[in-house]
Amino acid sequence: MKVHDLKPAEGSRKKPKRMARGIGGKGGKTAGRGHKGQNARGSVKTGFEGGQTPLHRRTPKLKGFNNPFRVEYHVVNLESLEIFEVDSEVSPETLRSVGLVAKKGLVKVLGNGTITKALNVKAHGFSASAKAAIEAAGGRTEVIPPPWGDRRPPAKGNALTNR
Whole-model pTM over 0.75: no
pLDDT of residue 114: 92
> Distance between CA atoms of 122 and 115, rounded to whole angstroms?
15
Instruction: Tell me whether strands 120-123 and 89-90 are parallel, antiparallel or unpaired.
Output: parallel
Distances in Å between the Cα of 17 and the Cα atoms of 2, 14, 138 are: 32, 9, 85
Across the range 125-134, mean pLDDT stands at 95
CA 155 from chain centre, in angstroms, equals 10
Lowest mean pLDDT among 21-35, 94-108, 113-127: 21-35
Write out pLDDT tens, residues 50-76: 899 999 888 888 777 778 888 899 999
pLDDT of residue 147: 87
pLDDT at 157 over 70: no
In the chain the domains, ranked by start, together with CATH numbers, are 73-143 (3.100.10.10)
pLDDT of residue 159: 53
Q: Counting beta carbons within 10 angstroms of the beta carbon of residue 51, is it exposed (0 to 12), middle (13 to 18) or buried (19 or more)?
A: exposed
Distances in Å between the Cα of 127 and the Cα atoms of 44, 69, 107, 112 are: 60, 21, 11, 10
pLDDT at 150 over 50: yes
CB burial of 92-103 (b: ≥16 within 10 Å; e: otherwise) equals beebbeeebbee
pLDDT of residue 56: 87
Q: How many Cα atoms within 13 Å fall on the side-chain side of residue 96?
A: 12
pLDDT of residue 73: 93
Beta strands, E only, the chain: 73-77, 89-90, 106-110, 120-123, 125-126, 140-143
